[in-house]
Structure 1
């Protein structure tokens, strides 16, 4: 299979035709070989327009969802980005071609190791993979200009909002009552604004599940 042709078709038929116009997003996704981030048995479908299971209940988001999330984040080349739920590292590789620095957070040790190996293979030395609970973020390197959450969550935890820099943006798919909407949270001083960018669904990130309250 000619993965280069498949990648070009993804850009032209999935991305550009669906109101993705940010040149940083388009150029980064055109440069990153998505096939190396999926199990070898599934490389032939690496560029299809759907979420791809990569093991452990985790997915690579469909290309269009990734593109639209990154576009609404309004990423600049000087930004420091926290990429939450990086899985095997695809989103982090794309972000590393858009931003100054990427901190890729993954709670699954095996996936974190794969992400590190994949980023090293591509020579992307402005991205580092760290391990820990996804819902806690990574306060050690905060504040971040942008936080991207790779998967649907029930709500944005307060801890993540407070890791944003002044003027920072957090983008995520928030699932409420069975439907998903892409949410953008912005920080201005100690005030947090919130808006819905568009409707969209993606697989739930288990690490963000709410802990049931104890009942006597």
Structure 2
């Protein structure tokens, strides 16, 4: 077993399973996808740390526990189409692709998108379509989606994103209030989002997902 493979097993055994994530497809995906390939080359040695991993200024790869618990709470099915917003180098999309039918991944950083396409191809993640564009706009052309995941903090979920979710579909979002955050699972019922708390987590707020500020003169 390679050093990275051993670290992958340790990540699952010490970060994922103890967080009450037991669904086999999630465990299998996290044991299979080579996380070290989905981070900047200078961060490979840190790929399996217990915590968020910086990808660029203000952008992180969510800690393994957060991603696993998010997917567990969504209860993804193998016939579903997922929009993965803020995919970075494609790790979350590769994990989701092991579980769902297909993934539309969105990243604003075009250099990241180019790298992600290469890494995803090398990983055999053929059911992932990588897109470059503003995160808050989503990818309407491939929607509507059964599930939407947001790979970073939010203060609010833009209407454009909610509009791309099917009736009855689910969104996982990490709502930040200052330094504290909580992952909520939203279900679209009669065109409205109904949110429930899933667990606590933390991540920088993604560009385009801040609340509009009231400016006082």
TM norm structure 2: 0.93
For the residues of structure 2 that align with 1:90 and 1:146, how far apart are their CA atoms? 17
Contact 1:161 1:185 in 2 (8 A): no
2:38 corresponds in structure 1 to 37
1:185 corresponds in structure 2 to 186
Deviation at 1:39, TM superposition (A): 2.0
Runs of 4+ in 1 over 3 A off after TM superposition: 210-216
Q: CA RMSD in A?
A: 1.6
Contact 1:81 1:144 in 2 (8 A): yes
For the residues of structure 1 that align with 2:135 and 2:191, how far apart are their CA atoms? 23
Deviation at 1:105, TM superposition (A): 0.4
1:94 corresponds in structure 2 to 95
Deviation at 1:67, TM superposition (A): 0.6
Structure 2 unmatched ranges of 5 or more: none
TM-superposition CA deviations, 1:56-80 (whole Å, max 9, x none) = 4321111111111111111001010
Contact 1:88 1:112 in 2 (8 A): yes
Q: Say if 2:21 is the partner of 1:17.
A: no
In structure 2, the residue corresponding to 1:206 is in which secondary structure? coil
Q: Say if 2:102 is the partner of 1:133.
A: no
In structure 2, the residue corresponding to 1:182 is in which secondary structure? strand
TM-superposition CA deviations, 1:80-105 (whole Å, max 9, x none) = 00000000110011011111010000
For the residues of structure 1 that align with 2:209 and 2:5, how far apart are their CA atoms? 35
2:113 corresponds in structure 1 to 112
For the residues of structure 2 that align with 1:111 and 1:174, how far apart are their CA atoms? 24
1:205 corresponds in structure 2 to 206
Q: Say if 2:123 is the partner of 1:122.
A: yes
For the residues of structure 2 that align with 1:122 and 1:64, how far apart are their CA atoms? 22
Contact 1:80 1:101 in 2 (8 A): yes
Deviation at 1:26, TM superposition (A): 0.9
- Residue correspondences, number: 216
1:152 corresponds in structure 2 to 153
Deviation at 1:173, TM superposition (A): 0.4
Q: What are the residue-to-residue correspondences of 1:44-59 with 2, within 5 Å? A: 44-59=45-60
Q: 1:147 to 1:214 in 2, by over 3 A?
A: same
2:29 corresponds in structure 1 to 28
Deviation at 1:171, TM superposition (A): 0.3
